[in-house]
Amino acid sequence: MSSILVTGGAGFIGSHLVDALLERNEKVIVIDNLSMGDENNLPHDNNITFIKGDLSDSKLVNKLFSEYDINTIFHLGAVASVVASIENPSETHRTNMDGTLILLEAAKKYGVGRFIFASSAAIFGDEPTLPKSEESIIKPLTPYAIDKYGSEQYVIAYNRLYHLPTTVLRFFNVFGNRQNPSSPYSGVVSILTDKFKKIQNNEEDSFTLYGEGDQTRDFIHVKDVVKALILVMEREEAVGEIFNLGTGISTSLKQLIEIYERVTGLSLPIIEKEERSGDIKFSYTSIEKIKAIGYTPDYSLEEGLKVYWNNE
Catalytic residue numbers, as ranges:
144
Nearest distance in Å: CB 190, ligand UD2: 8
- Burial code (b: 16+ CB inside 10 Å, e: under 16) for 8-30 equals bbbbbbbbbbbbebbeeebbbbb
Using the minimum distance from each CB to ligand UD2, give the nearer residue, 52 or 276: 276
Of 184 and 269, the one with the shorter C-beta distance to ligand UD2 is 184
For ligand UD2, which is the closer residue by CB, 162 or 185? Answer: 185
Q: How far is CA 15 from the centre of its chain?
A: 11
Sign of the CA dihedral with 76 first, then 58, 151, and 161 last: negative
CB count within 10 Å of CB 177 equals 17
Closest distance of CB 173 from ligand UD2, Å: 5
Q: Which of residues 25 and 129 has its CB atom nearest to ligand UD2 in the complex? A: 129
Cα(164)–Cα(112) distance, integer angstroms? 7
By beta-carbon proximity to ligand UD2, the closer residue of 110 and 210 is 210
Burial of 147 (0-12, 13-18, 19+ CB in 10 A): buried
Residue type present at position 20: A
Enumerate binding residues for ligand UD2 (CB under 6 A). 82, 120-122, 173, 184-188, 191, 208-210, 215, 217, 253, 276, 279-280
- Report, in Å, the least distance between residue 246 CB and ligand UD2: 11
Closest separation in Å from C-beta 225 to ligand UD2: 12
Quote the CA–CA distance of 123 and 138 in Å, as a whole number: 6
Asked whether the beta carbons of 48 and 28 are under 8 A apart, the reply is: yes
Rounded alpha-carbon distances, angstroms, from residue 165 to 16, 20, 142: 23, 22, 28
Which SS3 state, helix, strand or coil, does residue 186 take?
A: coil
Pick from 74, 26, 28: nearest CA to 228: 74
Closest contact distance (angstroms) between CB of 186 and ligand UD2 is: 6
